[in-house]
Chain A
Amino acid sequence: MRMRVWLIPLCFFAASLGYSYDVLFEGESLYHHISVTEEDGFRYLSFDETRGTQSAMKIGDPLFLHYVYTRLTFVGLAFCGEPKDVLFMGLGGASMPKFFRRHWPEANMDIAEIDPLIVEVAQKFFAFTPDERTKVYVKDGRVFLGKSEKKYDLIVLDAYNTNSIPFHLTTKEFMEEVRAHLKPDGAVVANIWSPSMNKYFEAEIKTLQATFPELYIFPGLSSGNFIFVSTPRAGQVPKHTVVDRAAQITREKKFEFDLADLAQSTYQYATKRPTNAKILTDDQAPVEVLRSQESK
């Protein structure tokens, strides 16, 4: 018995070396527990373990967009024309900024990311290399926008996919701020993660409907992500127009995936979609509680 007791620490050590995946990095920032793991040719970025992965990069092909919602996000380009100035709120594994920069080398790209460790991890592990036309602001996205005078063709809101949604990025006042920073023909694209229909999802729809004249929803189908697109310009952009523009972009930029096909199968015109949710405001946006309540 006395000698066999050594098996116990041995087992623990073996277990701690990891299961079938490699852990490249694990660390705590002031905001998240961040881990970078590698498995089967993919490198994954995860926050706070329990909630799955945030971002995935194919090792041999760092610009490959693995998650459908990251591809679907670019449907926003069918609403805004030539993207000369673009803002990404939330960096994650930088898959979308990298992809965008590759296909639009001349555009000005601003990125607002609150967590400096994420910026570091993206650069060290996810092949993110900001160039002269890319500016990373380590700042809360709303604070950055409020103090900025810039106007964008496209604003991508990707700060909602961790376990907690920052309520101040969901409200009418914030969406009005976003609208004020869009060019007249611009568009805002928000990635909302909602694995089931809940009251927060409905409330966000209501809030966008109240702020922008048009709203489109592109469900990411199996992933539980929804891409919301809103424009400050009134007038519905019909499905066939969106699909045609998406096809043109796919052709001209030689995308590896078919954006037109994605748009075709997911386009939903949601401007008049009925919902009896309450608009989210800075004074009242209990998003956590709403997210746990099923919408009827």
Chain B
Amino acid sequence: MTLRKTLLYLIVFISGAVVLSLEILASRILQPKFGSSVYVWGSLIAIFLAGLAAGYYLGGEIADRNGSFTRFGLLLLFSAALVAAVSFLSKPICNAIYQRLGMESVDRLGPLFASLALFFIPTAALGTVSPYAVRLFADDPAKLGRQVGTLYALSTVGSILGTLETTFFLIVWLPTPRAVLLLAAVQALLACLALTYGRFAAPEHRAED
């Protein structure tokens, strides 16, 4: 297996873990302000799925337009910055939304607005990873189904591990804001790997760059 493929597998796997890990941390962020009602989980799942949907679409679009490892790295860096922003903005945004809503609607609308404001855009950025990786991966059109399947399977397995690791370890080790920053650091690391590879990429791939 080439370095290129290994790198793409790794990025897709880890990003899959980061998305789900962020979703679990998101519930820890929303719960103190908006309670443990079903609206919190419902809003989170809805917004995360919406973000992923937007990310999948955009990721595919920009990858086709002028995809390259270097640009992939920049995209990953951007997603890392957005996740880091969540760490700093979570309390101010939740407080601001909480203040503006009265007792009647705060538990129903609060989680929806807070999820939207905090998590839609970072999740969308994280969602661009898989389709972009598919684009960078593709070499033999006859194997396209297999390649796409493998990448998405890896992303999903990453998500499972991200969920378990967050629930059993991350929230025990670190306070939530720092755990979110750790996720940002991990994404940034992936960005560096992609950027480094893009910089020193083998000549035969330069045409695609």
Given contacts A140-B35, A140-B36, contact A148 B103 (CB under 8 A): yes
0/1 per residue, B86-124, Cβ < 8 Å to A?
Answer: 000000000000100011001100000000000000000
0/1 per residue, A269-284, Cβ < 8 Å to B?
Answer: 0000000000001111
Restricting to B37-62, which residues have a CB under 8 Å from any CB of A?
37-38
0/1 per residue, B164-179, Cβ < 8 Å to A?
Answer: 0000100110111100
**Number of residues of chain A lying within 8 A (CB) of chain B:** 24
Q: Is A30 an interface residue (CB 8 A)?
A: yes
In the assembled complex, the Cα of A169 lies from the Cα of B46 at a distance in Å of 25
Q: Is B31 an interface residue (CB 8 A)?
A: yes
Instruction: Report the nearest B residue to A167, measured CB to CB.
Output: B31
Q: Is A195 an interface residue (CB 8 A)?
A: no
A139: B residues at CB distance < 8 A = 35, 37, 103, 107
Can you list 14 A-B pairs with a CB-CB distance of less than 8 A?
A31-B38, A139-B107, A140-B36, A141-B35, A144-B103, A167-B28, A171-B32, A174-B32, A281-B175, A282-B32, A282-B176, A284-B174, A284-B176, A286-B171
Q: How many CB-defined contacts (below 8 Å) exist between A and B?
A: 57
Instruction: Report the nearest A residue to B178, measured CB to CB.
Output: A283
Taking a contact as CB atoms under 8 Å apart, the answer to whether B36 and A168 are in contact is: yes
Q: Is A143 an interface residue (CB 8 A)?
A: yes
Given contacts A281-B175, A284-B174, A284-B176, contact A142 B168 (CB under 8 A): no
Given contacts A283-B176, A283-B177, contact A143 B31 (CB under 8 A): no
Please give the residue numbers on chain B whose beta carbons come within 8 Å of chain A beta carbons, in ascending order: 28, 31-38, 98, 102-103, 106-107, 168, 171-172, 174-177
Taking a contact as CB atoms under 8 Å apart, the answer to whether B32 and A173 are in contact is: yes
Query: In terms of DSSP, what is the predominant structure of the interface of chain B?
Result: helix
Given contacts A146-B98, A147-B102, A168-B31, contact A114 B37 (CB under 8 A): yes
Restricting to A103-155, which residues have a CB under 8 Å from any CB of B?
114, 139-144, 146-148
Give the shortest distance, in Å, between B151 (CB) and chain A (any CB). Answer: 33
Taking a contact as CB atoms under 8 Å apart, the answer to whether A168 and B35 are in contact is: yes
Taking a contact as CB atoms under 8 Å apart, the answer to whether B38 and A30 are in contact is: yes
- Going nearest first, the 6 A-B pairs with the smallest beta carbon separation are A140-B35, A283-B175, A147-B103, A282-B32, A284-B175, A30-B38
Instruction: Report the nearest A residue to B40, measured CB to CB.
Output: A140
Give the shortest distance, in Å, between A144 (CB) and chain B (any CB). Answer: 7
Taking a contact as CB atoms under 8 Å apart, the answer to whether B168 and A289 are in contact is: yes
In the assembled complex, the Cα of A173 lies from the Cα of B175 at a distance in Å of 14
Give the shortest distance, in Å, between A169 (CB) and chain B (any CB). Answer: 8
A52: B residues at CB distance < 8 A = none
Give the shortest distance, in Å, between B114 (CB) and chain A (any CB). Answer: 13
Give the shortest distance, in Å, between A293 (CB) and chain B (any CB). Answer: 9
Q: Is A81 an interface residue (CB 8 A)?
A: no
In the assembled complex, the Cα of A146 lies from the Cα of B32 at a distance in Å of 10
Taking a contact as CB atoms under 8 Å apart, the answer to whether B174 and A142 are in contact is: no
Q: Is A27 an interface residue (CB 8 A)?
A: no
Kindly list 12 other residue pairs between chains A and B, CB separation below 8 angstroms, not including A144-B103, A282-B176: A114-B37, A139-B35, A140-B35, A140-B107, A142-B35, A143-B34, A143-B35, A143-B103, A143-B107, A147-B102, A283-B176, A284-B176
In the assembled complex, the Cα of A192 lies from the Cα of B159 at a distance in Å of 34
A284: B residues at CB distance < 8 A = 171, 174-176
Q: Is A224 an interface residue (CB 8 A)?
A: no
Give the shortest distance, in Å, between A28 (CB) and chain B (any CB). Answer: 12
B38: A residues at CB distance < 8 A = 30-31
Give the shortest distance, in Å, between B52 (CB) and chain A (any CB). Answer: 24
Restricting to A29-68, which residues have a CB under 8 Å from any CB of B?
30-31
Q: Is A184 an interface residue (CB 8 A)?
A: no
